[in-house]
Amino acid sequence: MWKELRASILMLLVLTLITGAVYPLVVTVVAQVAFPGKANGSLVMRDKEVIGSELIGQPFDEPKYFWGRPSATSPIPGTAFNAEAGSGSTGSNYGPTNPAQLQAVEDRLKAIREAQVDQTGPVPVELVTASASGLDPHISPAAAEYQVSRVAKARGISDESIRNLVSVNTEDRTLSVLGEPRVNVLKLNLALDAQQQN
């Protein structure tokens, strides 16, 4: 019995060392060497300051910027991206027939239509519905196109110039087959700011 117990304890210690220390250390070292940007959260820097992450949606509400997907977390302090405190993530867990969900979509729809007075077509769904995590950083090219005239008017530049930036910042399907074409809202807004500074 003592022989089996000793073997069990030894095996527990060896596996704990391998899976709890050696393996995580090896994975961390490989990730930091092979792709340090992704391993550290795909942070976006400007003037040596972290301003966001390519992976986390951030709220933009000024007319001169493209707006991303709404978040169920956005009215709650401390849930938007914050480099010092970390970021919160949650969904509302409301079903499609929940009155609170329907009201939230109606309110967002009204706000989008008021901001986009020259648009008469249907509002792209991701501009009025939150993603499951509440932190989706992408919108569809159609949702970006829907906002082109507002952004162009607010910045005093042509619609065509804005469309070109949207086109340049549109990411294709992953491996050409997974997902849909998408636009990273933070990267697009940074490209807008950079274009106007030049």
List residues bridging with 53 in a β-sheet. Answer: 43
How far apart CA 172 and CA 150 sit, in angstroms, is 25
Render pLDDT for 173-192 as a digit per residue (tens, 0 to 9).
989 899 999 999 999 999 99
**Residue 117, C-beta contacts closer than 8 angstroms, at least 6 positions apart:** none
pTM score, whole prediction: 0.76
Render pLDDT for 114-133 as a digit per residue (tens, 0 to 9).
988 888 889 999 898 887 77
Domain ranges of the chain: 1-40, 54-197
- How deeply is 173 buried, as exposed, middle or buried, from its count of CB atoms within 10 A (0-12, 13-18, 19+)? exposed
Nearest to 105 by CA among 89, 92, 117: 92
Render pLDDT for 56-114 as a digit per residue (tens, 0 to 9).
888 888 999 999 888 765 554 444 445 455 555 556 677 888 898 888 889 889 989 99
